[in-house]
Amino acid sequence: MQTTAAVRGLSCTACGESAELSAHRCPDCGGVLVVDFDADRVDSAADAHPFPPGATVSIDEGATPLVAVSELADELGVESIAIKDEGRNPTGSLADRKFALAVAAAVQGGADRVGTPSTGNGAQSAAAYAARAGIDSKGVVPTRCPFLNKAMVNVHGGDMYVVEGRYEDAVDAFGEGDEPLTPVAPGHPFRIAGGTALALELLADREGAPDAVVHPTGHGETAVGLQRGFALAVDAGLTDAVPRIYAAQPDACAPIAAAVTDGAAEPVPVEHPDTIVGPLEVPDPVTGAAAIDAIDASGGDGVAVEDKSILQAAVDGCEMGPEIGATGGTAVAGARALADRGAFDAADEVVLVNPVAGSKEADLLRSHLMSQGM
């Protein structure tokens, strides 16, 4: 695999062993693998991109704006709040950072077909990047996956399988498939590297690290990638400290947030997940233990919030700053809950991540207004 000189290889988040660049899981222990960068070769955000020009698959993802929301900073009593609007990626979600890299890695490995189970946005993004690379794709989604995601998978020419049930049923069905394809499934090391790129970009946006980052967490990949990116930047001398990373999840499906708060090392799978925030309904995240480690290492925490607070926070957010949906509203609601419990200082500079464009979740927000009599 052709990588930049900054890439040293893969290493396991569980046992520390190194692995071949083409591996998806640790050959020793089955743990989650991450891309190791050489801090001596990282001087800027661009250096955290693992592939050289000519070995990338890109639709110009990333370079998203960091939008200051002073009204929310005043409300929460912190120095500043800014929303990193990942909805402004090519298919309207942070997933694009992950699939740009995972599909590029697959193509370099000779793949002519990639696939993933997904709550929705990942399948849309995988189909878009596979199409851009000129290869086939397969998305396996649960029935509750939004029409928009299903439609756009088809529009990009991807194969889509809708599985009766919820996300775990899609994961099971994907695992049972025996057709030849290269998985770009949750836990893929180059998906996680998308979060690393996000961290480095955030540092460049602000010319330094924030004090805290609140991230709506589903699979946990981005939490892992963010922490590793910030730690890499510290090693590279680009910033002083890793910000506290807070995993915000809907309380009806908060396996990572609950484990961090409880001091547990592993997420407890949620038996009957039931949140309106579909992209975050991941009851047994494969990257869970790695995410818990990453959040702990950052000095952050988990925060679980009710669906009703999430939806109200999304609508409030849309009146103060960039468009966000229910997924992004989870960051706003999480930040409110964190402020209530004294997690922030008055001097804190806080970044919230909006993982999905507000327009993609207009129906959820409109339903909430309806329930408020509007």
User: Which residues of this protein are in contact with its own copies, per CB under 8 A?
Assistant: 59-60, 63, 65-67, 85, 88-92, 124, 128, 131-132, 147-148, 150-152, 154-157, 314-315, 318-323, 357-360, 362-363, 365-366, 369, 374
Q: Which is nearer to its own copies, 189 or 358 (CB)?
A: 358
**Backbone Cα Rg of the chain:** 19
CB 108, min distance to its own copies, A: 19
Q: Which is nearer to its own copies, 254 or 324 (CB)?
A: 324
133: which 2 tokens? Answer: 């690379």
The four Cα atoms 164, 170, 174, 177 give a dihedral, to 10 degrees, of -10
Q: Are strands 66-68 and 80-85 parallel, antiparallel or unpaired?
A: antiparallel
The DSSP symbol for 357 reads B
CB 58, min distance to its own copies, A: 8
Question: Which residues lie below 8 Å from residue 372, measured CB to CB, with a gap of 6+?
Answer: none
Rounded to whole angstroms, how far apart are CA atoms 374 and 355?
26
Q: Which is nearer to its own copies, 15 or 151 (CB)?
A: 151
Whether the Cβ atoms of residue 357 and residue 92 lie closer than 8 Å to each other: yes
- Residue 305's nearest CA partner among 365, 261, 350 is 261
Q: Which is nearer to its own copies, 124 or 287 (CB)?
A: 124
Q: Which is nearer to its own copies, 95 or 270 (CB)?
A: 95
Rounded to whole angstroms, how far apart are CA atoms 168 and 322?
32
CB 362, min distance to its own copies, A: 4
Rounded to whole angstroms, how far apart are CA atoms 228 and 294?
8
CB 273, min distance to its own copies, A: 25
CB 94, min distance to its own copies, A: 14
Q: Which is nearer to its own copies, 130 or 343 (CB)?
A: 130
Q: Which is nearer to its own copies, 33 or 315 (CB)?
A: 315
CA angle, 262 then 11 then 212, to 5° = 45
Whether the Cβ atoms of residue 241 and residue 227 lie closer than 8 Å to each other: no
CB 153, min distance to its own copies, A: 10
Whether the Cβ atoms of residue 224 and residue 192 lie closer than 8 Å to each other: yes
CB 354, min distance to its own copies, A: 11
